[in-house]
Amino acid sequence: MMKKQIIEIQDVYVPVQRRQTLDLQKVAALAESIIEKGQQAPILVRPDGKRFVLVEGLHRLEACKALGETTVPVYLVQARKH
């Protein structure tokens, strides 16, 4: 079962391989959607010491940053390290 939590965006580590897939047009479109409808799909992270590692939701995370958010709702999952 996944546990929902609000965390600081600065505490989310994005692996280098994930960062390479960033599409700024998707980020802009998601930011508009979040303004209109709220965040529809969850961001998934796994705990890693005092930080969290992004598992799924890079574009949603970046859209929240673009909107000036400092915290983000996430689901904690148990995932193997990539």
pLDDT tens digits, one per residue of 19-70: 888 899 999 999 999 999 988 888 999 999 889 999 999 999 999 999 999 9
Q: Would you say residue 79 has pLDDT above 80?
A: no
CATH number of the 3-76 domain: 3.90.1530.10
Average pLDDT of span 71-76? 94
Nearby residues of 17 by Cβ (< 8 Å), 6 or more positions away: 82
Its pTM stands at 0.87
For the purposes of burial, counting CB atoms within 10 Å of the CB of 72, is it exposed (0-12), middle (13-18) or buried (19 or more)?
buried
On whether the CB atoms of residues 61 and 14 are closer than 8 A, the answer is yes
Going by pLDDT thresholds of 50, 70 and 90, the confidence category of residue 16 is confident
